[in-house]
Amino acid sequence: MSSPHNAANVGEIAERILLPGDPLRAKYIAENFLEGAKLYTDIRNVYGYTGKYKGVEVSVQATGMGIPSFSIYVYELIHTYGVKKLIRVGSCGGMHKNVKIRDVLIAQGATTDSSIVHQVFGGAVNYSLISDFDLLEKAVANARKLKLPVKVGNVICTDRFYNDYGDVNGIFGDGKRSLNEKLVQYGILAVEMETAALYLLAAEGNVQGLGIFTVSDHLLTHEEVEPRERENSFNDMIKIALETVIE
């Protein structure tokens, strides 16, 4: 049996998985970090592979960009394939002044402008989207063991890459301060587009989820990492994620 968006048969996807957005990054991780990696799906060119890391079966599944695409793949991974430990490995846009391009960040929590929480709970509660503490603790410990500095905190997960949140005269600006400036005041480190869905789906499915990112661009300094570098050079983050997912 497979699922509507994934050609894998049940049993071909490991309980432990890394989730990049970009299919070519899934291929890169499979080819450079996993032993004996086998492609189990290429539907829509959204690749998924299973192989071994340090003798433990691990999969890597691309998800596409944004909450709707991500949620389709991750819902099926949890509910059809029985995946239990899910680590998103992605890029994010730095917002806080303490965050620099190429830093590795871990999302302890995800704030979102998406309606997904409202779609689940109505207006009854503002459900907190949080990472799995066991994965978070292990990821921080593994980063320290590997001597790789990481920053841990809250990220904003947006539905629109192109928005006016940086504009003091934008819809949430007050003429003096933009929404982004206010978010930074409240401790938001960075912006990305999928982790709120990971934390909501993981909670719903009673499985473990964590988001780890490298900072590919910065909203304050406007520095950017080259797109080709995004595809190939995020090895520190991937090492932390793999060491954590196999524990």
Which residues are annotated as catalytic? 21, 25, 44, 88, 91, 217, 230
Kindly state the smallest distance separating residue 151's Cβ from ligand HPA, in Å: 15
Among 8, 37, 83, 92, binds ligand HPA (CB under 6 A): 92
Count of chain residues binding ligand HPA (CB under 6 A): 10
Kindly state the smallest distance separating residue 200's Cβ from ligand HPA, in Å: 18
* Phi, psi dihedrals of residue 244, rounded to the nearest 5°: -80, -40
Residue placing its CB nearer to ligand HPA in the complex, 53 or 73:
73
Query: Contact, 103 vs 93, CB < 8 A?
Result: no
Side-chain-side CA neighbours of 143 within 13 Å: the count stands at 21
Residue placing its CB nearer to ligand HPA in the complex, 164 or 217:
217
**Closest by Cα among 93, 122, 108 to 196:** 108
Query: Contact, 112 vs 157, CB < 8 A?
Result: yes
Distances (CA, A) of 121 to 54, 117, 144, 154: 41, 6, 37, 21
* Per-residue mark of binding to ligand HPA, 138-177 (x: CB under 6 A): --------------------x--x----------------
Question: By three-state DSSP, how is residue 151 classified?
Answer: strand
| Spatial distance between the Cα atoms of 86 and 92, rounded to a whole number of angstroms | 18
Q: Point out which span in 50-58, 129-137, 189-197, 238-246 binds ligand HPA (CB under 6 A).
A: 189-197
Kindly state the smallest distance separating residue 100's Cβ from ligand HPA, in Å: 14
Kindly state the smallest distance separating residue 141's Cβ from ligand HPA, in Å: 26
In this structure, the dihedral spanned by the alpha carbons of residues 85, 192, 158 and 64, taken in order and rounded to 10 degrees, is: -60
Which 2-31 residues touch ligand HPA, going by CB under 6 A? Answer: none
Residue 216 within binding range of ligand HPA, rule CB under 6 A: yes
Q: Point out which span in 50-58, 77-85, 129-137, 186-194 binds ligand HPA (CB under 6 A).
A: 186-194
Rg over alpha carbons for the chain, rounded to the nearest Å, is: 17
Query: Contact, 148 vs 240, CB < 8 A?
Result: yes
- Position of minimal CB gap to ligand HPA: 93
Name the token pair of 33: 């970090």
The binding site for ligand HPA (CB under 6 A) comprises 91-93, 158, 161, 191-193, 216-217
